[in-house]
């Protein structure tokens, strides 16, 4: 299935009795629906029922066949999602079928859901969505998966990509892997920022607290009313819980910065507070979460996978201003996360930057 096509997906589904039991014998339709960076996503449906098939080609979908990647990355995702379903069943979609030899799996179709990222650009998010995300991270932190070999839940290649694109490449001037907008000139980095990135890199590589999602942001959370469904766990790895929490902090803030520059009502303080309070753990974890938040914010300014909320700002001059605001906020967070003792300390840093455009 290296050159995947609709016909091959159709043929694969047609050859598996399980799919007939789910979809029935009516004519099948296949449509590619995913726009992710790594993998192909197809909806397979009849007139009445549907499911999703996710397939990992031997390359990175975003960059094409020249950027080779091991297909076993999707096996890691299957294993991690199956485990997450055991600890947080109401937050994880159902996997109907997994095939490690074909590098694909079939899952529940979340067609009535939207990404949290998309909805965040259109309306205020109910705070219980953030409370449920905090509860999910609490369950992740409080549990450990069944023992397996070292590659079962963690793909070394994808972890190395995260290391490079979050902690290394963004901090090397003019690196070939970066895509810096012509209107954006990053501020020079002081010693505190450089030390902060070094500390966070060490934590990312060495602090194996629990099995993380590894790419938990508003684009990998689907919502419907007050329900959540967490997807896309191919970057899972054993690391510090502050990494997943910090990623969520960062993408909540990116959506709120969009609202700020589009003259919409912001709720970043309520959202972050709901997430953090529902998580309900020691505020020492908050320090690393704040640092990882800053690292994620900064890298989204300069890597190819840009922050969709910033790109969605309609006025070009406001978009440029937002880029520079995020740059300053990210530097402040990375430089000072070790001084954060309470959630109020975190909010004080944010207010130094997000309140400026309003006043």
Q: Do 93 and 224 touch, CB atoms closer than 8 A?
A: no
Query: 20 to each of 4, 10, 110, how far by Cα in Å?
Result: 21, 12, 19
DSSP conformation letters of 216-234: -STTSEEEETTEEEE---T
Q: Which strands sit side by side in the sheet containing 221-224, from one edge to the other? A: 114-115, 221-224, 227-230
Residue 359 included in any domain: no
Same domain, 123 and 103: no
DSSP E strands in the chain: the ranges are: 29-32, 40-45, 50-55, 59-60, 64-68, 95-99, 104-108, 114-115, 210-212, 221-224, 227-230, 237-239
Calculate the CA dihedral of residues 41, 42, 43, 44 and round it to 10 degrees: -140
Query: What is the pLDDT at residue 359?
Result: 37
Q: Is residue 23 part of a domain?
A: yes
The span from the CA of 74 to the CA of 98, in Å, is 10
Q: Which range of residues forms the domain containing residue 212?
A: 114-354
Are residues 179 and 220 in contact, defined by beta-carbon separation less than 8 angstroms? no
Please identify, among 58, 81, 108, the residue that sits at the C-terminal boundary of a domain: 108
Residues 130 and 98 in one domain: no
One domain, residues 138 and 265: yes
Q: Do 74 and 151 lie in a common domain?
A: no
In a shared domain, residues 103 and 143: no
Say whether both 165 and 307 belong to one domain: yes
224 is a domain residue: yes
Q: What share of the chain is helix, strand, coil (3-state, %, to 5)?
A: 50, 15, 35
Instruction: Tell whether 42 is covered by a domain.
Output: yes
- CB burial of 270-308 (b: ≥16 within 10 Å; e: otherwise) equals ebbbbbbebbeeeeebbbbbbbbbbbbbbbbbbbeeebb
Tell me which residue of 245, 260, 161 sits closest to 210, measured CA to CA: 245
> Which are the contacts of 336, defined by CB distance < 8 A and separation ≥ 6?
192, 196, 349
Kindly report the CATH number assigned to the domain that includes residue 37. 3.30.200.20
User: Which among 91, 108, 125 is the end of a domain?
Assistant: 108
Whether residues 44 and 159 share a domain: the answer is no
Residue 1 lies in a domain: no
Structural domain contains residue 75: yes
**95 with 150, same domain?**
no
174 sits in the region (left: phi over 0; alpha: psi -120 to 50; else beta) called left
Residue 239 lies in a domain: yes
Assess whether 89 and 125 both reside in one domain.
Answer: no
Q: Please, which residues bridge with residue 238 across strands?
A: 211
Distance (Å, whole) CA 231 – CA 116: 12
Instruction: Give mean pLDDT in consecutive 10-residue pieces for the chain, a chain of 359 residues.
Output: 62 84 82 80 89 89 79 95 98 96 94 96 96 98 95 94 97 94 94 98 97 97 97 96 98 98 96 97 94 98 96 97 98 98 97 72
- What total number of domains does the chain contain? 2
Residue linked to tokens 């993380």:
212
> In the prediction, which pLDDT does 21 show?
86
Q: Report the CATH number at residue 139.
A: 3.90.1200.10
In-domain check, residue 128: yes
DSSP state of 177: T
Say if residue 127 is in the same domain as residue 249.
Answer: yes
Together in a domain, 40 and 56: yes
CB 121 within 8 A of CB 309: yes
Let me know whether 89 and 197 are in one domain. no
- From 70, 90, 108, the end of a domain falls on 108
| Sign of the alpha-carbon dihedral angle for 166, 330, 91, 85 | positive
Is 52 in contact with 77 (CB distance < 8 Å)? Answer: no
């Amino acid at each position: 299935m290296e050159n995947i096509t609709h016909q091959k997906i159709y043929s694969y589904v047609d050859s598996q009795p399980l799919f007939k039991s789910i979809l029935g014998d009516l004519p099948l339709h296949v449509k590619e629906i995913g726009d992710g960076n790594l993998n192909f996503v197809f909806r397979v449906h009849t007139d009445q029922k549907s499911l999703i098939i996710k397939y990992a080609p031997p390359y990175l979908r975003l960059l094409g066949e020249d950027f080779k990647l091991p297909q076993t990355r999707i096996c890691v995702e299957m294993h991690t999602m199956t485990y997450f379903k055991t600890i947080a069943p109401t937050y994880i979609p159902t996997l109907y079928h997994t095939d490690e030899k074909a590098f694909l799996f079939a899952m529940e179709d979340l067609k009535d859901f939207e990404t949290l990222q998309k909805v965040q650009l259109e309306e205020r998010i109910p705070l219980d969505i953030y409370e449920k995300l905090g509860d999910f991270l609490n369950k992740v932190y409080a549990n450990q998966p069944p023992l397996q070999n070292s590659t079962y839940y963690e793909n070394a290649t994808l972890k190395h990509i995260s290391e490079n694109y979050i902690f290394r490449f963004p901090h090397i001037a003019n690196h070939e892997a970066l895509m810096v907008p012509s209107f954006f000139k990053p501020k020079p980095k002081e010693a505190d920022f450089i030390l902060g990135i070094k500390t966070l890199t060490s934590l990312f590589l060495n602090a194996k607290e629990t099995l993380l999602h590894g790419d938990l942001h508003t684009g990998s959370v689907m919502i419907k009313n007050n329900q959540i469904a967490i997807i896309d766990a191919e970057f899972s790895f054993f690391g510090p819980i502050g990494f997943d929490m910090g990623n969520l902090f960062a993408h909540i803030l990116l959506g709120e910065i969009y609202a700020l520059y589009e003259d919409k009502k912001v709720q970043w303080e309520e959202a972050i507070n709901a997430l953090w309070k529902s998580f309900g753990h020691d505020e020492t974890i908050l320090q690393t979460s704040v640092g990882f938040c800053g690292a994620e914010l900064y890298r989204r300014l300069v890597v190819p996978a840009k922050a969709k909320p910033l790109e969605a700002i309609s006025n070009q001059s406001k978009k440029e201003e937002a880029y520079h605001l995020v740059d300053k906020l990210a530097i402040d967070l990375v430089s000072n996360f070790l001084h954060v003792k309470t959630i109020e300390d975190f909010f004080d840093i944010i207010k130094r930057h997000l309140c400026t455009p309003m006043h």
